[in-house]
């Protein structure tokens, strides 16, 4: 009986890494909940630990460049990943796209109405009323804000809307402004709208109105746990993680 117990314990130990690593992931705010769910599966599978720090992609990129202790970076914008590459702080060979997203206009209240495709005839300033503000992530730095400004410019409405934008540090903060009723409308990712029952999707921006919304990931150069970070990055591109991302509304990387 003792021998069987000892054998069982040995098998359990063999199933887990001899030394568990902690992988710190700096991830775009819009990816936080989905990545945390996926990371929990990987933790169970490997025995490693994952810490997810979610914030604006631009904020995270600058923190990484300043030496913040991250092992993996997942951005909501290729531009900020390009920036970190230019700073020499990522392993370029590890870089890969993990998922995609879409851009929507949300309104306060959990109405269940069919969203309409956005066109120049879709008058957003009129829908805001006289004093309403349009919630957006930082339009000069955060990917969701940059995509939103592109889309509104494509619609020919940015000039009228720019003075009425309520800017937030990241897309989740912009979503919260609409959810709390502090702004009647906001520009966010489709996945954010899906996760918040206090808002409804009023319209969808055409893909051609903005740059493709893709999420690249890369291992940080000089990471404390490079092998575990690389293994996690590979796993995030695999079927188990992609199923989690799909449930949260993200599109596949291809």
Instruction: Give pLDDT tens digits for 143-153.
Output: 999 999 999 99
Q: How far is CA 174 from CA 106, 113, 159, 167, in A?
A: 10, 21, 20, 7
pLDDT number for residue 178: 97
Higher pLDDT, 1 or 97: 97
Average confidence (pLDDT) over 106-118: 78
- pLDDT of residue 113 exceeding 80, the answer is no
pLDDT band at 65 (very low <50, low <70, confident <90, very high): very high
**Ramachandran region of residue 137, left (φ > 0), alpha (ψ -120 to 50) or beta?**
beta
Q: What is the dihedral of CA 56, 80, 225, 66, to 10 degrees?
A: -80
DSSP bridge partners of 204: 104, 117
Tell me: is residue 209 an annotated ligand-binding position.
Answer: no
Is 30 annotated to bind a ligand? Reply is yes
Is the pLDDT confidence value at 82 over 90? Answer: yes
- The 214-219 sheet, strands edge to edge: 49-55, 22-28, 72-74, 214-219, 96-100
pLDDT at position 6 over 50:
no
Annotated ligand binding at 176? The verdict is no
CATH class belonging to 103-209: alpha beta
Q: Is 171 annotated as a binding residue?
A: yes
pLDDT for the residue numbered 117: 78
What is the pLDDT, as a whole number, of residue 20?
74
| pLDDT value for 19 | 63
Residue 85: exposure state from Cβ atoms within 10 A (0-12, 13-18, ≥19) = middle
Task: Determine the average pLDDT of the residues in 234-238.
Answer: 98
pLDDT band at 161; cut points 50, 70, 90: very high
CB atoms within 10 A of CB 18: 7
Give the Cα separation of 223 and 72 in Å (integer): 8
Question: Is 57 annotated among the ligand-binding residues?
Answer: yes
Confidence of residue 107 (pLDDT cuts 50, 70, 90): very high
In CATH, the number for domain 18-100+213-247 is: 3.40.190.10
Domain boundaries, the chain: 18-100+213-247, 103-209
Listed in sequence order, the DSSP H helices in the chain are 2-14, 32-46, 57-65, 78-86, 124-128, 143-154, 158-161, 171-179, 190-195, 226-236, 239-247
CB-side neighbour CA atoms (13 Å) of 2: 0
pTM for the model: 0.86
Percent of the chain with pLDDT over 70: 91
Q: Name the band, by pLDDT with cuts 50, 70 and 90, for residue 154.
A: very high
Asked if residue 101 has pLDDT above 70, the reply is yes
**Looking at the predicted structure, is the pLDDT value of residue 17 above 90?**
no
């Amino acid at each position: 009986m003792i021998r069987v117990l000892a054998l069982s314990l040995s098998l359990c130990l063999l199933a887990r890494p001899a030394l568990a690593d902690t992988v710190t992931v700096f991830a775009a705010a819009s990816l936080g909940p989905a990545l945390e769910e996926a990371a929990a599966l990987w933790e169970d599978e490997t025995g490693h630990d994952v810490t997810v720090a979610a914030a604006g992609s631009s904020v995270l990129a600058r923190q990484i460049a300043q030496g913040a202790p991250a092992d993996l970076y997942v951005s909501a914008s290729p531009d900020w990943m390009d920036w970190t590459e230019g700073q020499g702080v990522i392993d370029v060979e590890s870089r890969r796209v993990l998922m995609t997203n879409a851009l929507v206009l949300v309104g306060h209240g959990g109405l269940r109405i069919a969203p309409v495709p956005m066109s120049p005839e879709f008058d957003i300033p009129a829908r805001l009323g006289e004093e309403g503000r349009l919630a957006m992530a930082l339009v000069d730095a955060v990917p969701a804000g940059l995509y939103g400004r592109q889309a509104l410019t494509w619609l020919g409405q940015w000039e009228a809307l720019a003075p009425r934008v309520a800017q937030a540090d990241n897309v989740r903060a912009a979503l919260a402004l609409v959810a709390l009723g502090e702004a009647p409308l906001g520009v966010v990712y489709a996945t954010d709208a899906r996760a918040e029952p206090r808002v409804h999707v009023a319209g969808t921006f055409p893909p051609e109105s903005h740059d493709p919304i893709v999420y690249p990931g890369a291992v940080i150069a000089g990471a404390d746990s490079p092998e575990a970070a690389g293994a996690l990055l590979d796993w995030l591109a695999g079927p188990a993680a992609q199923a989690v991302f799909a449930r949260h509304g993200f599109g596949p990387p291809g």
